[in-house]
Each structure stands twice: as C-alpha cells, then as structure tokens.
Amino acid sequence: MKPLKVLVISGDFPPALSGVGDYSNRLCAHLAADGAAVTLLTTASESLPEDAGRPYRVLRQMKSWDMSQRAEMVSIARDFDIVSLQYPSALYGRGLGINMLPLSLMRLGVPCVVTIHDFRVMRKRWRARTIPMLSFARALIHVDQLDGEHLRRWSFRHAPMRHIPIASNAPVVDCDASKRAAWREHLGIQPDELLVAYFGILYPHKGVPEMLDAVATLRREGHRIRALCVGDFDREADYVAPMTARLQADHVTWVRGASLERVSECLHAADMAALPFYSGAGFNRSSLLSCLQHGLPTVTTDGPNTPANLKDVFELLLVPPQNSPAVTEALRKLATDASLRSRLRESAIAATANLSWPAVSRRHMEYFSQLAARPAQREVVHENPQRA
C-alpha cells in the first residue's frame, strides 16, 4: 500500500517565530512517523536553514503568496493526495493567491483541507478574505472548538468540518529531583526561591508586563520569588526596546532562542506559570498546554475568547485581562499555599494526559485518508463539527 502523499502549506516555519509554524513542524513530523509521505511548502528564505535532519521534505521556495504565484502553488500541489493548508500566517502577506488556492485545487480534483487557527480573533476584513478559502476547501479543520459556528457564517458552501485540538509544542523531557536542581542552578535560582514562568512569543497582547508587575510587587512584599521568561520577540519593533529593559532586570531570567528540549527543562525548573493573555485563555493556546503538561499551577485570564467550559477541563486560577493587581493576588495565593500548588500540579498533569501529538496526528491521518478516498462529487456532505 502506497503511503498517503501529504503537502502541508504554512507561510511561517522555523526558524521564523510563529505558533502556526511550530504547529506545522510538529504536525509534519508526526504525520511522517505515522507513515505519510510529507512535504512542507513554505516561504523562501535568504539563508537556507538546515532541514536535512527532518523526517519530511521542506520546500522553502515561495517568494510570495499572491495571485502571481498561484500557478506555482498549483503545480507543486497537484501531485499530492491531499493538501493541508494552515491559515493564517503573517508571511502570506496581503496577496489573495493563497486564499484562492482551494478553488484551483478543487478544479483539479486535489482535496485541500484548510486548518483555521484563531478565527474568532481575526478582524472582519481578514475574515472576509477567507471566504473563497472556506467555501472551496474540500474540508475544514478548526483547532479552537468555538470557531466552528463562526466558520459556518463566513462560508457560502458548507464544507465538511472537524474540530481537532492542538497539543503542546514543547514535549516533556524526563525530569527527576537532581535534574531539576541542576536546571534551576543553571538559571540562577536559589533553592528557597519560587520561580514564575512565562512561555511563548513576546508580543504586546500576551500580558508579559502584567506578569512582571506582579512578580515585582511580591518581591517588594518580601517574597522570595523570581520571573522566568522563555521566548523571543515577534515582529513588533515598538515593543522590543521597553520590554528588553524590563526583561534584563536582576530578578528576571530571560531565555532566548531555546530548543524545545531547553524549553521543557525551563518549565520543569519553574514552580508556577503566569500567562495573562489579553484576549483570554483557550484550548488553542499551545503555551498554556505546555505549562500544564509540565504540571505548573497556572494563572491565566478569563477574557472575551475564553471558552465557557475551559475551567471544567483545566483547574486554573483565572483573572481578568490587563489587571496586574489580580495577577498579583493569584500569584500571592500560590506562593503562600504549597498544598494548593501540589493539588494544581496533579490536576494539570491528569487533565493534559490525552492531549498529545501522536493522538492529534492519528486524527489527522484518519481524516485525510477518508477525504483522499472520497469522490469529489461528495465533497458537499455535511458533518456535525461537535460530533467530529
């Protein structure tokens, strides 16, 4: 039996900083491990990163993603059993070529599955750009459970839809007491100090200032506590200078350019996490899942995009967005209650036990195999996204 030939398309891809790029990398690796013949198509790079060690092929050749390049996209995609298009991506730019690709592939009979990330938080004009993509895709995957109903409203031809959640982008490395002590020592953390971790891209709406404010306040109160930030800046130039100064404070440890193994070591070294997202926590936050999978009691936000059932699945300390005093109070509660930290640690590990990349990959492989075998004339069949 021939392996399923899968083309994954993502404008962003490592070493570029991007949650969607990291997701694409992990998806490709696990699809390949499950027996698929995987190729990743991404944006051309001035310097060619080392891709030889990956278990799948990487094509870094798209100079742009606008209409002038649509023919090249089609010529690459036409020989695959299925195309998995990841959207959005900053490096797609403003051109509409990528948005019209599902229509071109539909005419050729090549199934194109569009995976949508963070649809609810897109501005309306960007949602409008997705209408051709949503309408002519063979099928849709949404990583946020609540995106399903919104996607229906923006598509005039209802393609089959399935919710497949994300998994953590930082696999958990083995840890014991001696390893953890060594990792903490390497970070400059004393045995009697508590360490509050932030993990993720350093971006204006991620709530890093509120986390740093809270740790600074607790230190002034006499708590032996430090902040750990594991992440790098995105493309927001105006944000870099003021935040760099804050991240270089004596009580802050900033880890940049970390490998996934190093990220896991840092999260193991921490005692708790603070992720005060301005738009709220959700199941699609890979940084949140990473912290929980490492057993970190986590303070995060109940914002406009937080699912109502999040607190039923994960035991979190939820606070309002953009509220440093509330973050401070939640961290104070954790810092002064070791039994609470222990309970939340056990709860976090148990709740994330089934959110693994092998499980996510298997669901993709099953769905891709079904769609690749399904005749094109049946592509308008509806599926209940809540049951999928």
pLDDT in tens, the chain (388 residues): 799 999 999 999 987 767 888 899 999 999 999 999 999 999 998 766 778 789 999 999 999 999 999 999 999 999 999 999 999 988 898 888 999 999 999 999 999 999 998 887 788 888 888 999 999 999 999 998 878 888 888 877 778 999 998 888 788 999 999 999 999 999 999 999 999 999 998 988 999 999 999 999 999 999 999 999 999 987 666 788 889 999 999 999 999 989 889 999 999 999 999 999 999 999 889 899 999 999 999 999 999 989 888 999 999 999 999 999 999 999 999 999 999 999 999 999 999 987 889 989 999 999 999 999 876 543 433 333 333 3
Which among 56, 28, 39 is positioned nearest to 357, based on CA atoms? 28
pLDDT of residue 385: 33
Please report the DSSP string for 121-139 in residue order.
Answer: TS-HHHHHHTHHHHHH-SE
User: What Rg do the C-alpha atoms of the chain give, in angstroms?
Assistant: 21
Cis preceding linkage at 15, omega within 30: yes
- Give the contacts of 377 (CB within 8 A, at least 6 positions apart): none
Are the beta carbons of 352 and 293 closer than 8 angstroms?
A: yes
How would you classify residue 188: left for phi > 0, otherwise alpha for psi between -120 and 50, otherwise beta?
left
In terms of DSSP bridges, do strands 37-43 and 5-9 run parallel, antiparallel, or are they unpaired? parallel
337: DSSP letter: -
pTM recorded for the entire structure? 0.78
How would you classify residue 295: left for phi > 0, otherwise alpha for psi between -120 and 50, otherwise beta?
left
Query: CA-CA distance, 84 to 71, in Å (whole number)?
Result: 17
Domains located in the chain, CATH noted: 5-167+357-378 (3.40.50.2000), 177-351 (3.40.50.2000)
The strand pairing partners of 116, in sequence order, are 87, 142
8: three-class secondary structure by DSSP: strand
* Cα distances (Å, whole numbers) of residue 306 to 26, 62, 123, 302: 25, 35, 17, 6
pLDDT of residue 376: 54
CA torsion angle for 345, 350, 355, 358 (degrees, to 10)? 110
- Give the contacts of 178 (CB within 8 A, at least 6 positions apart): none
